[in-house]
Amino acid sequence: MYYRALICLKQNNIAEAKLITKDLLKTYPDFYEAHFVNGLIYLSGKNYGKSVNEFSSVLAKNSKHIKALYNRALAFGLMEEYDKAIEDLTACIALKPIYSLAYYSRGYWYEFLGNYPAAIKDYENTINLDPKNYDAYLGLAYIYQGLKSNTKSCEVINNAIKAGSQIAEEVKDNFCK
C-alpha cells in the first residue's frame, strides 16, 4: 500500500494517494512511513503546517529519516521559517555530507536571510558535489552581482556554461558586461 501511495503521488493522483494512505494508517497506525507519504501529500497541496506535523511524526520515530528532514525543511522554508529550514538542512548534511541538494537548499534559505557568506559557501559546495546543479551557479552569480563583484559573477556564469547550462548562456549578458 505504501508504494502504491507513492506511485499515485508521483503520478499526481493526489486523491488516490490520500485514500491509500488513510487505509494504510487505519491498518498499520504505527507505520511511520505512512506519515511520510501524508507529509508529501500535504506539501504538494501547499498545506505546509500539516506537512511539518507529518514529517515531525516520522522524525519522532526515526530522527535520521533524511527525506523527512529534507521535506520538512522545504515546508519550513515555504512558511518563511528560514532558521528552522536551515536547522533541518544542517541535520541532513550531518547525516549525509555529500547531499548536494541539501547544500543547495540551505544556501537558498541563507540567501533569503541575507547571510551571503554562508549562501556562497553552500552554493559552492553544491557545485563541487553536483556540477550539473545549474541553479546553484545562478544563485551564486546573483549574490556576486548584488555584492557588486561583476568579475566574479561573470566567472560563475562562464563556469555554468562550461558545465552545460543553456540558461546561463541565455542570461550571460546580464552578468558579463
86 lies in the same domain as 106: no
Burial of 137 (0-12, 13-18, 19+ CB in 10 A): buried
| Average pLDDT of the segment spanning 65-80 | 98
Contact 106, 90 (CB under 8 A): yes
73 lies in the same domain as 2: yes
- The last residue of a domain, from among 62, 96, 130: 96
Q: How far is CA 40 from CA 33, 60, 173, in A?
A: 11, 17, 39
Domain that holds residue 137: 98-177
90 lies in the same domain as 134: no
We report the CATH number of the domain holding residue 57 as 1.25.40.10
- The last residue of a domain, from among 50, 66, 96: 96
149 lies in the same domain as 162: yes
Number of domains making up the chain? 2
Per-residue pLDDT tens digits for 95-152: 999 999 999 999 999 999 999 999 999 999 999 999 999 999 999 999 999 999 999 9
138 lies in the same domain as 127: yes
| Average pLDDT of the segment spanning 39-62 | 96
- Is the overall model pTM greater than 0.85, yes or no? yes
Q: How confident is the model at residue 13 (pLDDT cuts 50, 70, 90)?
A: confident
4 lies in the same domain as 82: yes
83 lies in the same domain as 47: yes
Q: What pLDDT is stored for residue 77 in this prediction? A: 97
Q: Helices (DSSP H) in 28-165: which residue ranges?
A: 32-44, 48-61, 66-78, 82-95, 100-113, 116-129, 134-146, 150-163
57 lies in the same domain as 121: no
Q: What is the gyration radius of the CA atoms in the chain, in angstroms?
A: 19
Host H or E run for residue 24: helix 14-27
15 lies in the same domain as 57: yes
69 lies in the same domain as 143: no
CA dist 25 and 30 (Å) reads 7
